[in-house]
Chain A
Amino acid sequence: MIIGKNLSYSYSQTQMLQFPNLKVDAGQTLLISGDSGCGKTTLLHLLAGLRTPYKGEVLIDNEQLSEMSSAKLDQFRGEQIGVIFQQSFFIPSINVFDNLNLSPFGKKNRKIDEVTEKLGISELLNYYPNQLSQGQQQRCSIARALINNPKVVLADEPTSALDDKNCSMVAELLINAAKNQNAALIIVSHDYRLKKKIDQKIILKPIDTI
């Protein structure tokens, strides 16, 4: 379960983003949408502990991110939060298997075979990232986010670069995989194609300026 309570973020002294409270239980999904520039990605980064909120708190299974040391937060993110980006980022010099296995914590609880089989990418493990199509890359990104069996999966515009066919397939894979693993899934997107598949929805307002 992930909770975002009274979250706000300040880019500068004149710009303050204030976000609605949110709560996603294990196995549930939330879609955050809104116009470009309204702070969707910033909210996602706050939830992932990649940015520090101006005010408010993020709790994952009752553990507050802001109370963690920098080292503990890095470890917590690596083990308990899976993140998927709009662009599929990979280390180009290593193959898909090594990219999925990328972790400073060894191979504890990692389910590469199971996850890659479910996502239909078992045969791609020896390929290098530049040998994959966009759809394949995005499926590999999903696999990387799920391989640790995380409590929370955060996805930033995971389908915006995909055509309708790939969008539907990737969204379904992501949602089903997260549900199967009993992970809370938050998707940030303005992609209308996702709306029907998600449990909760939040629409962010434009930036509040002070």
Chain B
Amino acid sequence: MANGVQSASMAGTGVSARQVFEQKELGFVKRGLATALGSGMLWGLDGVILGIALAMAPFTAGATMYAAPLAGSALHDGFAGLWLAIYNLFTGRWKDIGRSLKTFPGFIVCVAALLGGPIGMGAYLLGINFAGAAYAMGISAGYPVVGAIMARLILKEKISPRVWAGILTCVAGAVILGYVPPEGGTMPHFYLGIGCSLLAAFGWGTEGVLATFGMDMVDPAVAINIREATSCVVSVLAVLPFVAGLAVFGQALITPNVVWVIALAGLAGGFSYLLWYKAFSMCGCSRCMALNITYAIWGLVFSYFLTDVAITTNLVIGAIVITIGAIMVVGNPKEMINLRAEA
């Protein structure tokens, strides 16, 4: 790394041009952290709005337990993709969508979409069915740990012991916050359910790493547009037909009050993802995944005002633990000026 010439200085201030640039870089990292937190906030809002939609007909009457959440998720991603396409149209990026799809990094973003979309979501639902919500939620909340390990291996991201501890603390907070007592009774496919929950954590964690790899060469706004569109199209063509979900999908699409709620959730979700993907390439995907978990806190806040959720002790403890973890992850932004170890 060439350190270059510090020939010019701000008149009379003694501040070199490099110092001015370093301040700019630090500002960029801090903006990245704020972007990641903003993504968590919108994701929390998205979850609450989507929850309201999924409590409405036709989602309450799916033929299988998978039909409603998968159809809702496909519709949500479809709307998110549509809103992002409008965003890209107005910011002059729309031509990059087709261009990206013709390249290898664009293909990798599509693979990330499958892992984070239909595979991650499908595996999570199967996990709940076979092993119960307690185990499925607890295990799949570990996705930032999977993501951090993959980011270390594939992207060579630098992750200090404090950041590792912060990521683990965030995950622990999410587990506490989402805790539900394990159901009694026998679960004949319990270990299959555990496997599916692990697959969900793997899918969600790997999505971020593959997307970050793709975004070395593709604009984040374009990458997330491709991700949402791919997730919707593949869900509709290859997943919903097998879970009797197409009828729910179609019915929701023609029910005006439902479709508008989902469109609104898609708006919050699309822009949450936009901020998330932008943050990946500003301050590293391992940190952003942990910071995104703060959505759970925002979800609580929005639920409190928009629905009638009861604030229980484990929700409060979980929120405090997540906050501590997030502070440990953010720590010293100066560490994030160079994200990767061997780059």
Note whether A and B form a binding pair. no
B interface residues with partner A (beta carbon < 8 Å): none
A interface residues with partner B (beta carbon < 8 Å): none
